[in-house]
Amino acid sequence: MLDLLIQNATLADGRKGVCVAVHDGRIVEVSSNLSATAHEIIDAQGHLLSPPFVDAHFHMDATLSFGLPRVNQSGTLLEGISLWGELKPMLTHDALVKRAMAYCDWAVAKGLLAIRTHVDVCDPRLLAVDALMEVKRKVAPFIDLQLVAFPQDGLLRGKTGPQEHFDTLKRALDLGVDVVGGIPHFERTMADGALSVKLLCELAAQRGLRVDMHCDESDDPLSRHIETLTYETQRLGLQGRVTGSHLTSMHSMDNYYVRKLIPLMAEADVHVVSNPLINITLQGRHDTYPKRRGMTRVPELLAAGINVAFGQDCVMDPWYSLGSGDMLEVAHMGLHVAQMTSQAAMRQCFEAVTQNPAKVLGLEGYGIRAGCYADFVILQANDPVEAIRLRANRLRVYRRGKLIAHSSETVSTLHMPGRPSNTAMKHDSTPLSD
């Protein structure tokens, strides 16, 4: 007998009336007509059943610190950086764990069950690393949490010399941090930026780890560290294991140069993570008008066959006072900023918060197929585009076949004579036949 049978679900690829059979924490069958006995049978009522949301770029050591020690009054990157500097000496292990765990509760409620978080490794105490390693263990039954060793203050910019942060970064990897990070555009010179990329990729190759760098988070079109990251990926045989996060300078680059760059990135199988909520608020701040959007060239990268994910980056921290772990909000913003409004492009935006970031993280057993983990979300929407439009309610969230969060359908009751008694803002967009 099955543990769980979901009936009458719609899948993100458009299949309707689908049954999903679950046993021992895995999906054992996905088909259109399945009659089997199960301990529990759920009628999905035609709602969208999707694999869980995945966030490929987050900062869990800073999340929910909004207001500590004071509020970012201007909402700018620079005030955010100085605020983080004020907050760092006041951080404690327990407070870091408490805030991260509270965020993970939000994530589960939003069907966000895999997160890659960068963690600052420039602190010789590695306080945030210790705290997030504890969080990773605590949330493991519900969330795949992947940590990136992020030299926030610059790999080669240590107060005692270029070795200081490199040493703390290696110690963080020794403690079990999963991915090698970097921030080449923040090193002192272009040459140091390129050197940091080379050193970090070599370290990742030696240790068999993945790489994910904050790369070219700048409006300077000459910030071209993605070129070096692509080159080192190819040279060291790291294809499919390296991610360039942000890449905002690409927005401002010369088209002629980008035409050479994008095919090289495709050849090296470099992943890209764009962070639309943060890129649209922090970039273009030195412009008068016209103001650049500062988001990387998402449609062009996708058209070249490059895997692009949208990340959340920040939630209620010194840099961004909004956010709730809702990856549909991220997809909604990405869709607008990149003008991805065709029917196909809107569905790509849904993939950019589900299957694409799953590839960035290298998640095993992800998807709605026989053999995959029984991790999925039933949304109060009939298809991926409606899910983005409504930032749809997560009706039921499953991990390894177990219900870990659920909510009631969102319906507004109306009190107007001659009008319906309620609305859920659904709209059947099936074309009228003629």
Positions in the binding site for Zn ion (CB under 5 A): 313
Whole-number minimum distance, CB 52 to Zn ion, in Å? 21
| Complex with Zn ion: residue 164 or 313, whichever CB lies closer | 313
| Complex with Zn ion: residue 313 or 351, whichever CB lies closer | 313
| Complex with Zn ion: residue 217 or 375, whichever CB lies closer | 217
Whole-number minimum distance, CB 217 to Zn ion, in Å? 7
| Complex with Zn ion: residue 315 or 331, whichever CB lies closer | 315
Q: What six digits make up the tokens of 168?
A: 């703390």
CA 87 to chain centre: 25
Can you count the helices (H) and strands (E) in the chain? 13, 18
| Complex with Zn ion: residue 77 or 190, whichever CB lies closer | 77
Strand partners, 399: 402
The values of phi and psi at residue 332, to 5°, are: -60, -45
Alpha helix ranges (H) inside 47-189: 77-87, 93-109, 127-139, 163-174
Residues 292, 283: Cα–Cα separation, whole Å: 7
Whole-number minimum distance, CB 431 to Zn ion, in Å? 41
| C-alpha distance across the termini of the chain, in Å | 46
**To the nearest 10°, the Cα dihedral for 284, 289, 295, 296?**
-110
Closest residue to bound Zn ion by CB: 313
Whole-number minimum distance, CB 26 to Zn ion, in Å? 33
Which of 251, 180, 217 minimizes the C-alpha distance to 80? 217
Whole-number minimum distance, CB 320 to Zn ion, in Å? 10
The values of phi and psi at residue 337, to 5°, are: -65, -40
| Complex with Zn ion: residue 63 or 382, whichever CB lies closer | 63
Which of 65, 115, 66, 72 minimizes the C-alpha distance to 92? 65
The values of phi and psi at residue 301, to 5°, are: -65, -45
Whether 29 is catalytic = no
Whole-number minimum distance, CB 245 to Zn ion, in Å? 6
Helix, strand or coil for residue 344? helix
Strand partners, 398: 376, 403
Q: Catalytic pick from 164, 187, 217, 386?
A: 217
Active site residues: 217
